[in-house]
Amino acid sequence: MIPDVRAAAAHEAARRRTFAVISHPDAGKSTLTEALALHAHAITRAGAVHGKAGRRRVASDWMEMEKARGISITAAVLQFAHRGCVLNLLDTPGHADFSEDTYRVLAAVDCAVMLIDAAKGLEEQTRKLFDVCRHRGIPVITFVNKWDRPGREALQLLDEIEREFRLRPTPVTWPVGDAGNLRGLIAVRTPGQMLRYTRTLGGAQEAVEEAIPAEQAAAEEGTDWDQAVEELELLRAAGAVHDQEAFLAGRTTPVFFGAAISNIGVRLLLEAVIDLAPPPGPRELAGGGTRPVDAPFAGLVFKVQANMNPGHRDRIAFIRVCSGVFERGMTLTRAATGRPFATKYAHSLFGQDRSTVDIAYPGDVVGLVNAHSLRVGDTLYAGQAAVFPPIPSFAPEHFAVARPVDVSRSKQFRRSIAQLDEEGVVQVLVSDLRGEQAPVLAAVGPMQFEVVTARMAGEFSAPVRLEPLPYRLALATDAAGAEALGRSRIRGEALTRVRDKAQLALFRNHWQADLLQRDFPGVRLDQLIAAHG
């Protein structure tokens, strides 16, 4: 790369913030995503995800199932500018059945905003996501949502975070008034005032924010103000003060309070993403070492999605720019094959909407259109070779045989199943016994099967019938293990995963797997990665 291109990559990388919004289902993740875009003036009105008549959908939820159910099923990318920075916000599925999609997104971000429901506290999926972030070294900002509804005490929530995650919470904002009686917020950096909010109808616009001097807040809010000030003083005395180095090292988490659906506290969170979240930095390579942001272009494919726009019926590979400058039309090398890859059609994404992008920098997400050869986990590079660590598949726990409802659509059935496999919607397993006309679909959770059924009928015009199988355990094996399973007294099954040709042995339970190893000592049965990462 010539010096000015390297300088441009480094300069633009410093302006990027690439982060994911993650949470347990129903914590308000997509609502917060919309509210952040609203406060950055990327949209003029916020939608809602409750599915009530007359309400608009959120920009990040574009699938028919997402619109109908008011939940996020697949990850979405929203890019917008604020305060001279470019934000790449990745909204993720919250439901545990779609953990794989969330894990893939976390491979593409530099920070995560974790939502916690004020009433429910740390839920199961919240715990798993915190573990994944810790495992990947991703710093976490915490937003305690729904403070306008009855819930737990603020200090109790902080104690729960520290006790369960060994992660010290450091408040950046603090509520005046208990959950369900939100009077305002104190920004720790400006303790001499209270921010009071006036909600707008339906939360479609930014809440009106008014700074109230401490003396006035004390006179008008009385004990609520006194309690908030006292709690902040106790926390400060205990050392619960934001430290940027500790945050980036994953030892602390800055904490914010608010109500996303009413746009309360969202502006402060948006400012914190710019001020606190790290910009793109050197990226670890699979063979050791790192690739700096000013090195020649390299990017990671973390998601593949078909039919985002029914009018196009195309296929998009989402690639995170990790180093260098991406220019539309450049010819790259696909690390998996060593073959050239042309980038003629490249888009910037905002939910379902897209526009042609001519140039992109580290931290940006580019949609490569009709990139049929690309797979999740692929590395593309220019110049010096680079390979980023692979994105692992999770251990499936639910299995079903897929058959076409209309046998005359068998060719379309096979193509569509292959597409869903490439997207990572499900894992597709095959065997000589069943053949290509009856592949076995493997999923982390049963809702993935609902997505398959809906998309096969609605998007691909190839309705499918699913026949559940009794297995609940998949272990990695080899040809000898598959042969042993075929000769054993155990009702299991050996299949090949289409995605990577790995051989899997399916069992009803661990007892059956143990029995096979007793009958055939030395047989290979290895654990796959669990859904919590």
Per the annotation, binding residues for GTP are 91-95
Overall size of the chain counted in residues: 533
Rounded to 5 degrees, what are φ and ψ at 93?
A: -65, 140
Chain position carrying tokens 């959908």: 57
CB 449 within 8 A of CB 400: yes
Closest CA to 269 of 516, 21, 2: 21
Chain position carrying tokens 């592949």: 439
**Burial of 261 per CB tally in 10 Å (0-12, 13-18, 19+):** buried
Rounded to 5 degrees, what are φ and ψ at 279?
A: -75, 170
Sign of the dihedral defined by the CA atoms of residues 13, 15, 16, 17, in that order: positive
Pair of tokens at residue 184: 């305002």
**Burial of 214 per CB tally in 10 Å (0-12, 13-18, 19+):** middle
Closest CA to 520 of 493, 486, 497, 491: 486
CA–CA distance, 343 with 125 (Å, rounded to integer): 37
Pair of tokens at residue 79: 């890019």
CA–CA distance, 512 with 399 (Å, rounded to integer): 17
Helix intervals (H) in 72-113: 99-106
Binding region: 91-95
Chain position carrying tokens 């996501």: 129
Strand partners, 306: 315
Helix intervals (H) in 124-185: 124-136, 154-165
